Structure 1
């Protein structure tokens, strides 16, 4: 349905593969495992071909997103033919110390924070400060996503400043410049 409506979809299969909490990832904390790297790449590529070649879903934007707090961020990378955007899932106490930005932007793909939040879920993430850090240290960032409502700008600090900053683009502004009607509100 989304393809028929001309709606692009950010598709992020097999995320946080460099962590040990999903079956497709590492089996031990920060343990180098060349066999897992190879198997992951094969699986990712098979999913890609199934979705694009077999299912004909050419509206998918493929997002590769390792965990910022683990090593081996690019060891799982399936290849530039299979990825449109690279990103980091980053849960942090200091947004200026997120690891992996340079490593992923070196892959010459657009960069995103594919999940963000604080390690303490206490409503103290300052989005105005986070945006300033992005401007200073991670300027190639094209988007970010909060994992859930606990990490949302609306329930943390600096949300209003963040939403009104000239660097941000909000859903209303996206739809205002489009002939599309939003499917999900």
Structure 2
């Protein structure tokens, strides 16, 4: 197969390589776990406003502009000042990592707003809007040396170019149910790194269409990555996350020929996607992340079994950053008996991460998604009390951090990226819900590395 590559300027490539090496070194040698937030306009005090508004309003689901970003920063700064974490309301502890979903750019509405009101999943942007606004956000954070992490909820390529609104109520992450679907997905995994000029003429129309759909998305990703590189931005990129679950089309359970947990094709599509972006499209400013979902079976696994279960067929030596996705409710088998379930679940997850740091000492290891599941009802709760009241967090979340981070012989995660808050979902603790949760917010910041800055008054919407 001939290799057709997109070349980049050698000076830019060298600068990107230097920035990537510096970032990896900084993650490996930090003094405290870097704090990260997913779509930070939906975290902190700004999230409480989302819960108070109509959850069916798509205007509450996603930051629309840099003005909204300024509003978020102002609320965040004010809440931290009220808790005594900063001296003035213009000081703020920014996260060191900010995570955004590339769905907005790669799978969202194409070039018109005709069906924007129907798009009930992530974004009411069309692609040009999404690209412009995301660039604004990442440029804002770049000035404070906050690192972007790019997540991708890729819709099934067998659905074609249809966005979420066009295929509701079907699940775009799921399988399509066609008899030859497995073969087509395996075909995509095997050939996603092939330049189009090398495609054989004997491929079927369906093979060409499905592979073309997937490569179109990667081409848009490459264009965006080049724009980041032009601005000197290096980003973490974590495609095909939680592949050891069953809820995404790239899951091992779906790729397997015999419907067993065979990691082969998930590993193939992960590695071939990196090869396509780097060798064919010339992308040189991404650090690639592998991030399976933590499983209960890992909690007692011996080292060799844990390493195998974690890597799941992926060659860890070709991965830059290692992560796990963890939600407190995933590690309990029954309805929790009380608020202590968060302490227990997080403590067990931190133990697994410490083992992974020992197994893979040359890699940054951390939480790529962490959810405290504050919205999960406790026994006897009234649904209206889901976001407030005694026991809605108490200090249980901080106890596990204190236990893990206070012992120098125990290895904490290099980074901790919390999942976002949204209507009906509270994964990151916020102020204003209850005194107990206010105490959590005030208590856990000392365990994380943040970027304490004084935001310019002109950038705040007070």
> TM-score, normalising length from structure 2?
0.33
Structural RMSD (CA): 2.9
**Greater percentage in strand:** 1
* Structure 2: gaps (5+ residues): 1-226, 298-308, 329-340, 377-386, 432-436, 456-462
**Greater percentage in helix:** 2
For residues 316 and 276 of structure 2, what CA distance do their matches in structure 1 show? 16
Larger radius of gyration: 2
Aligned to 1:104: 356
Going from structure 1 to structure 2, the CA distance change for 1:102 and 1:6 (only over 3 Å counts) comes to: same
Is contact 1:18–1:26 with CA below 8 Å preserved after alignment? yes
Among 303, 313, 316, the alignment partner of 1:76 is 313
Aligned to 1:142: 414
For residues 403 and 289 of structure 2, what CA distance do their matches in structure 1 show? 22
For residues 399 and 251 of structure 2, what CA distance do their matches in structure 1 show? 32
Aligned to 2:59: none
Aligned to 1:152: 428
Aligned to 1:23: 249
Aligned to 1:169: 449
For residues 32 and 107 of structure 1, what CA distance do their matches in structure 2 show? 27
For residues 410 and 279 of structure 2, what CA distance do their matches in structure 1 show? 34
Q: Deviations over 1:11-51 (max 9, x none)?
A: 110000110111111328xx8533xx111111111110111
For residues 399 and 240 of structure 2, what CA distance do their matches in structure 1 show? 30
For residues 245 and 322 of structure 2, what CA distance do their matches in structure 1 show? 16
For residues 121 and 18 of structure 1, what CA distance do their matches in structure 2 show? 25
The alpha carbon displacement at 1:117 in A equals 1.1
The alpha carbon displacement at 1:88 in A equals 0.9
State how many pairs are aligned.
Answer: 168
For residues 119 and 79 of structure 1, what CA distance do their matches in structure 2 show? 30
- 1:91 correspondence with 2:327: yes
Going from structure 1 to structure 2, the CA distance change for 1:5 and 1:23 (only over 3 Å counts) comes to: same
Match of 1:158, SS state, is helix
Going from structure 1 to structure 2, the CA distance change for 1:134 and 1:13 (only over 3 Å counts) comes to: farther
Aligned to 1:2: 228
Aligned to 2:217: none
> TM-score, normalising length from structure 1?
0.75
Going from structure 1 to structure 2, the CA distance change for 1:127 and 1:46 (only over 3 Å counts) comes to: same
